[in-house]
Amino acid sequence: MAVRDILLLGNSLLYKESEKVERDELEKLEPVFEDLKDTLLEFRDEYGWGRAIAAPQIGVFKRIVYMHVNQPIVLINPVIKLRSRRKVEVWDDCMSFPDLMVKVKRYRRCKVIYRDTSWRKQSMYLEGKLAALMQHEIDHLKGILATQQAITNKSFSLRSERPEGK
């Protein structure tokens, strides 16, 4: 469909909570699913990274996440139902602030419940980097950015300053 502009850090809309998707909205949201895909792939081509994008990042305030790690997947109304007790420190990156890294704490494992594009209820268990990624994207749906969850006021780094670039 179309590559959309990604809302950048400083845009107050990023702090807006997204609305739940209703079943009767699916058909009209199909172009949004495509736009999320196109926008993620374009970002990945330009920056060399990017695994997921939340609808609010393109100005659509619906609870939708598009993730493309091994295969593309649209998660509608995702909710984290189970979490590990243990949290780990990770350097979060974000397409809304591509040159900034933020050290945050994320649950090591989680179970996510969501609807697919056919409105079937699905679930997935994630751990490590994918669990952290999903928590990051669901935070976007709540209007929460990684910058608000920094471990300390020194938990920020430029991407170019990170030894591994991530």
- Catalytic sites, residue numbers: 137
Q: What share of the chain is helix, strand, coil (3-state, %, to 5)?
A: 30, 30, 35
CA pair distance 92, 75, nearest whole angstrom = 20
CA pair distance 59, 61, nearest whole angstrom = 6
Contact (Cβ atoms closer than 8 angstroms) between residue 88 and residue 110: no
